[in-house]
Structure 1
Amino acid sequence: MKRKIFIPVMLILIGSVTAGCANGMTPSTYGSKQQGIVQTLEVETKAISDDNETLESSIKLPVFSSENNKELLNEINTLLEKDALKIKEELSQMAENDFKDAKKENIELHKYELLVDYEVYTANSELISVTVLNYQYTGGAHGMSVKVPYNFDLRTGKEIALEDFFKEGSDYKKVINEEIQKQIKEDPDKFFPDEVEVFSGINDEQSFFIKDGKLVIYFGQYEIAPYSSGIIEFEIPNSILKDVVSPSFIK
């Protein structure tokens, strides 16, 4: 899904970044020297915790900041927090209703849980690529994890979809599908048999992120593999995308 952030954009010169989940409130600084000037982008972790009779939640989110692009980065920070708090509110309401019903039936329920964390993969002059992972436990044998991607074009202030990286009219899906099918066949035991036989293919709302300048396609739990396989990622080699990638994203 693409969302526009209507903020005037000033380009910033920031180097590519790869990082794991940040811990605590210590800012991380990402930058590179370009044309003799060092420009930086800081990422600080914002922690939001809550614990009541029905739900225990722990939310960690990135807070992007820089001397440049302050308004745009604030809009991105606000969007990430708004989405996370919406998930918390929905789960909180669900927990309250379920516990109320369980009490009427004299059934004991385990407190619901919500854990939210993040990974920043890229933060440069044109692109921020980050995922927010939320884990929910609502009873049963195990919880469920959902990894939500956020990819922002800092030149336009727009959240971009996979198709935006490719030339209009190019058959980029075919190129990517063939590569994923190849990787599936290299480790077939991780996947559902039907996907090994014929990969179902990527879709228009496909989840992805950009890491170390490379496209990574991923699938959630149960999409193409059993729960035990977790969230499946496929790194797509740049060499096979060179004929279909949009000139605006070629370095």
Structure 2
Amino acid sequence: MKKALLFVMIVAITLTLLPTATGISSVAADSDKSAKIETSKTDTVKVETAKIEKNDGSSIKIIYPVLSGFTSAEKINDLLKNSNLDAIGTVRKEQSYLEEYIKGMPQKIQDPPFASIDSSYDYNKSGDILSFVTNTYFYAGGAHGMTSLDSYTVNTKSGELYSFSSLFNSKSNYKKVILDSIKKSIDKEKNMYFEDAKTTVDKANSNYKFYIDGNKLVIYFGVYELRPYAGGIARFSLTAKELKGLLKDDVYNQMINAKPLEKIRLNGISAKTQFKTYEKDYVLMVPLKTTADILGYKVGWDSKNGASIAGGFIKNNVDTYYTTGSKKIKLTPAKVIGNVMYVPVTYFSEVLKEDVSFDGEALRLFTKSTVTPSQFDTQSTEFIKADSAEECADLYAKAVKERKGVVQYGLMSAKLREANKKGFEELNWVTGVSSPWVTTYNVKDNGNGNFKITFNWATSAGKSPDTTVTLSVSEVKDQQYFEITSIK
């Protein structure tokens, strides 16, 4: 369990950089169609939404954007793929630790904990500037999980992927203005922050994590960086108007008339219908019919049984929910206010199994219009991190035998991934050939992180010549897992 706790800490750092069984689908980013963002008469930016989902001990659900139509789209897509793969590898490793821990307990646990990752995203456009944020919740046992954000901001016309400093005129005093603004915000709510919060901001040295939400620049710090867990992610917003003269002219002109995202978001962007919600005992209550309509459900009414949806009935002031063939689930009771029935937002996620979530900042809904899943995403759900050099070498050998290119790729360092990516893509991530095939392999530890792997091959006609590969494996700095740094 000690290893599991260490991995949770690692994930909290790493993620700030990220149908049942093996169902992998994609949904379009504007109702049932992908979102097209007009950048010029000759250039159209497209945002589609892919989904990776698997439940086999651990629970994996990652909803992420797939970009096209501008020069740096592929680069960002690769960053997201790598982030998703690493997150999946970590959560599956955590699950193995939990299972090991549970096996060693003297009594059987009725509802054992399981590792999970649940991630979705938002995006907004400010002229030619496209900015999106992935919102990830990771759980690996314990009292609570960890929430993290990752963000990317790009100019779709020039292809520039912005760093924080590249937004500003280098000769301006933007560093001081922004630092003073953040510290002023902290001073207004001192009881919400750690005593050394302002010192932590100083140490960032104006190299902040950020995203652009319409006419606002949002700077954020991860959970536990500035305040306790209950305080969540600390965000500090400054409008384009406040930053006039500090931002580069092009950035300012793109932002000044753009609109921030609204609370209700459909497929990553503001929903056209912004409906009323309210909170009861820390539970968000949403209008049943309006929300159901957006997700493609029909709601009927029966004077005796109440609202009918998906084969179940919902009654005013009753806390039981179900659908055809499902078990009854108890949630916050439904409530009729005026002529509108409200239900807890979790009704849609836990009973109808829809991709609906609320994190205190936004209500996110994703529809299920599917497109062809990628081989990369399909294989990625089988990747697991290695917590020793020996395991890393063995996992690689096994992946070669099973022709799983994504698993091989996942075990590699960033440099090796980049060098081998094109070759894997040409093979559509299925390595080797149908004949000859690997029958067995032997991994020999030569010491100092070096391993010699001998692969035994065969065809339908009999044995084929053996081949050997030499790997160099090393521990990733500040993280408790290992990666392959060279293959010969």
TM-score by length of structure 1 reads 0.75
Report the count of equivalent residues. 221
Compared with structure 1, are the counterparts of its residues 46 and 106 closer, same or farther at alpha carbon in structure 2 (3 Å cutoff)? farther
Q: Does 1:200 align with 2:206?
A: no
Worse-superposed segment, 211-220 or 178-187: 178-187
Q: Distance in 2 between matches of 1:199 and 1:98?
A: 33
Tell me, in whole angstroms, the C-alpha distance in 2 between the residues paired with 1:131 and 1:137: 20
Instruction: Give the distance between the partners of 2:126 and 2:242, measured in 1 at CA.
Output: 24
- Structure 2 residue 62 is matched with structure 1 residue 56: no
Alpha carbons of 1:145 and 1:33: their partners in 2 closer, same or farther (altered >3 Å)? closer
Q: 1:134 aligned to 133, 136, 139, which one?
A: 136
Structure 1 counterpart of 2:50, from 9, 31, 46: 46
> Which amino acid is the alignment partner of residue 188 of structure 1?
K
Q: In structure 2, which of residues 237, 241, 248 is the aligned counterpart of residue 246 of structure 1?
A: 248
Does the CA contact (< 8 Å) of 2:94 and 2:140 recur in 1? no
Structure 2 contact 216–240 (Cα < 8 Å) conserved: yes
With over 3 angstroms needed to count, the CA separation of the structure-2 counterparts of 1:181 and 1:30, relative to structure 1, is farther
Does the residue aligned with 1:64 lie in a helix, a strand or coil?
strand
Query: What secondary structure, in the 3-state scheme, does the structure 1 residue paired with 2:223 have?
Result: coil
Quote how far apart the aligned CAs of 1:217 are.
Answer: 0.6
Q: Contact between 2:98 and 2:113, CA under 8 Å: does it hold in 1?
A: no
Give the drift of 1:190.
2.5
Q: CA shift at 1:167, angstroms?
A: 2.1
Letter of the 1:115 counterpart: D
SS in structure 1 of the partner of residue 201 of structure 2:
coil
Corresponding residue of 2:405: none
Match of 2:83 in 1: 83
Residues 115-148 of structure 1 show CA distances to partners (whole Å, capped at 9, x for unaligned) of 01111022643x2211111111111111001101
Q: Percent identity among equivalent residues?
A: 27
State the Cα distance separating 1:28 from its structure 2 match.
4.6
Match of 1:116 in 2: 119
C-alpha separation between the residues in 2 aligned to 1:230 and 1:223?
10
Task: Return the letter of the residue paired with 1:90.
Answer: T
Corresponding position of 1:232: 234
| 2:182 counterpart residue number | 180
Listed one character per residue, the Cα deviations across residues 48-78 of structure 1 (whole Å, up to 9, x for unaligned) are: 101112x111110012244xx3x64244223
Aligned equivalents of 1:124 and 1:74: distance in 2?
20
**Contiguous gaps of at least 5 residues in structure 1:** 1-22
Greater relative contact order structure (CA < 8 Å, 6+ sep)? 1
Q: CA deviation at 1:243?
A: 3.0
* Aligned residues of 1:133 and 1:148 also touching (Cα < 8 A): yes
Amino acid corresponding to residue 81 of structure 2 in structure 1: E
- Structure 2: which 5+ residue stretches go unaligned? 1-25, 254-488
Provide closer, same or farther for how the CA distance between residues 92 and 124 of structure 1 changes in structure 2, counting only shifts above 3 A: farther
Per-residue deviation at 1:46?
0.8
Query: Comparing 81-90 with 183-192, which one deviates more in the overlay?
Result: 183-192
Write the letter of the residue equivalent to 2:163.
Answer: A
- Structure 2: distance between partners of 1:30 and 1:124: 13
> Post-superposition shift, 1:80?
1.4
Instruction: Assess if the C-alpha contact under 8 Å between 1:49 and 1:57 holds in 2.
Output: yes
CA displacement at 1:150 relative to structure 2:
1.1
How much has 1:92 moved relative to structure 2?
A: 1.1
Give the match for residue 164 of structure 1: 166
Distance 1:136 1:41, change over 3 A: same
* Displacement after TM superposition at 1:233 (Å): 1.3
Partners of 1:123 and 1:237 lie apart in 2 by 12
Contact 1:62 1:118 in 2 (8 A): yes
**Alpha-carbon distance change, 170 to 33 in structure 1, aligned in 2, over 3 angstroms:** closer
Q: 1:190 aligns with which of 184, 189, 192?
A: 192
The secondary structure found in structure 2 opposite 1:57 is strand
Contact 1:48 1:59 in 2 (8 A): yes
Task: Report the 3-state secondary structure (helix = DSSP H, G, I; strand = E; otherwise coil) of the residue aligned with 1:89.
Answer: helix
Aligned residue in 2 for 1:17:
none
> For 1:29 and 1:41, how far apart are their aligned partners in 2?
8
CA contact (8 A) 1:181 1:199 kept: no
8 Å contact 2:37–2:45 — kept in the other structure?
Answer: yes
| Distance in 2 separating the partners of 1:58 and 1:31 | 26
Query: Following TM superposition, by how much is the alpha carbon of 1:249 offset from its aligned partner in structure 2, in angstroms?
Result: 2.5
Q: Deviations over 1:225-245 (max 9, x none)?
A: 111111121111334422332
Which residue of structure 1 aligns with residue 222 of structure 2? 220
